[in-house]
Amino acid sequence: MNLIDAEELARTLDAQDVLAPMRAKFDLPADVTYFDGNSLGPLTLRSREVLHHTIDVEWRERLIRSWNEDWLAMPMRVGNMIAPLIGATQDSVISCDNTSINLHKALMSAVELRPGRTEIVIDINNFPTDIYIAQSVADQHGMTLVAVPAEEIIGAISERTAVVTATHVDYRTAKILDAPAITATAHQHGALMVWDLAHTAGAVPFDVSTLDIDFAVGCGYKYLNGGPGAPAFIYVAPRLLAESGQPLQGWWAHAAPFDFELSFRPAPGISRFLTGTTTVLSMKSLEAALEIFSGVSMADIRAKSIGLTGLFIDLFDAHLAPRGFMLASPRESESRGSHVALGFVGGKALVDKMSAQGVIADFRPPDLMRFGFAPLYNSFGNVVSLVHHLLRP
Ligand SMILES: *Cc1c(COP(=O)(O)O)cnc(C)c1O
């Protein structure tokens, strides 16, 4: 497909796009084309509005009264907005802390639930923080961290495994792991499963309930557009909640935080996975951004995501492969998340040059350029324009 035909096709697809109106809910600068929503989602108009209200009214005027009027309920309220995006029931997801801390809590909890087991299995290509956290949990329990490539996870699970953890969509390649098979194998061997949904939530449908996942964690500032440092989330299967503890038993996890009792009694529900005071401003921004998801379906988001990444890969074959770019993401749409990674010698300089021109992507060493295609604000026209920039930066 030549680029003139591609532009024509993109105009047709954009005209038919049911998600096209969502673009107006984002406050992207006119001179920017953004392909990095997989690292930091853009500002929404609602986040701006809600943050101003929080500062001017809830903080400035209402002061401490705002805790009871609104803020105390936020972690649960925001968790319940995230729940439908990952197939969770109400009151089984809570928003708090960051992904690293939530992963630590989930893994510690899982290990305590499987006493006597000696191994934690992890995807060796997982995001480094996940590996560091899993290593620390293993070290604290005198356990072994079994780190293997994604294809070998199933074979590495045994009766020694306490918990298996992996990221559903690989942060580098966007490869989707086989969550049903990995989870089922973990369960067949009596192990628990912790999925990291950092590159899944808000971009790729997931169903913690149908898959019978034990724990899941994920990020608020990527496809959920919560803003820099937005709180993350943690899901715990309701069947495990009563027996699940977590290592950071702070006062917000207490059954009655404002009774100021001297001994710890965990809250009966998912709030036992909280630790301390909520980061209100960040949480407000996340809550406002999540409103967008109540008006769209994850099926439409997924269909458009596949359309955008698929068009980019078609154009890659015709125009970029002959110029020395290498495809590092899966060709099969069912195993591909919402970004596409290209290997390119000199990729760092190219990403920097494009960024100076307002075409923003990112780079992961040694030579991977990553392009995030976010169905809520990227258009098919953006995809063609990206290819133009890659050819003539
Ligand atoms: C982005 C990302 C994180 C981020 O962790 P934070 O603690 O929120 O900084 C963790 N894991 C994966 C797989 C990620 O993609």
Task: Render pLDDT for 32-91 as a digit per residue (tens, 0 to 9).
Answer: 999 999 999 999 999 999 999 999 999 999 999 999 999 999 999 999 999 999 999 999
Whether 167 lines ligand 1, by a CB cut-off of 6 Å, is: yes
Residue 23 main-chain phi, psi, to 5 deg: -55, -35
Whether 200 lines ligand 1, by a CB cut-off of 6 Å, is: no
Q: Where in the chain is the domain with CATH 3.90.1150.10?
A: 3-31+297-391
Judge whether 362 counts as a catalytic residue.
no
Judge whether 348 counts as a catalytic residue.
no
Give the tokens for residue 196: 């990291």
Whether 199 lines ligand 1, by a CB cut-off of 6 Å, is: yes
Q: How many C-beta neighbours within 10 Å does residue 22 have? A: 21
Distance of CA 163 to the CA centre of its chain: 20
Burial of 267 (0-12, 13-18, 19+ CB in 10 A): middle
Q: Which CATH number fits domain 50-294: 3.40.640.10, 3.40.190.10, 2.40.10.120, 3.20.20.150?
A: 3.40.640.10
Q: Which atom of ligand 1 is nearest to the CA of 232?
A: 8
Mean pLDDT of 301-329: 98
Superfamily of domain 3-31+297-391: Aspartate Aminotransferase, domain 1 (3.90.1150.10)
**What's the confidence (pLDDT) of residue 1?**
85
Q: Which atom of ligand 1 is nearest to the CA of 167?
A: 13
Whether 99 lines ligand 1, by a CB cut-off of 6 Å, is: yes
Catalytic residue among 17, 171, 370, 373: 370
Instruction: For residue 393, name the pLDDT band (cuts at 50, 70, 90).
Output: confident
Catalytic residue among 221, 223, 344, 380: 221
Mean pLDDT of 123-139: 98
Mean pLDDT of 133-145: 98
Ligand 1 centre and the CA of 219: distance in Å? 6
Ligand 1 centre and the CA of 390: distance in Å? 28
Q: Where in the chain is the domain with CATH 3.40.640.10?
A: 50-294
**For tokens 């006119």, what's the residue?**
30
- Indicate which residue's Cα is closest to atom 3 of ligand 1: 99
Amino acid letter, 258:
F
Judge whether 377 counts as a catalytic residue.
no
pTM exceeds 0.75 for this model: yes
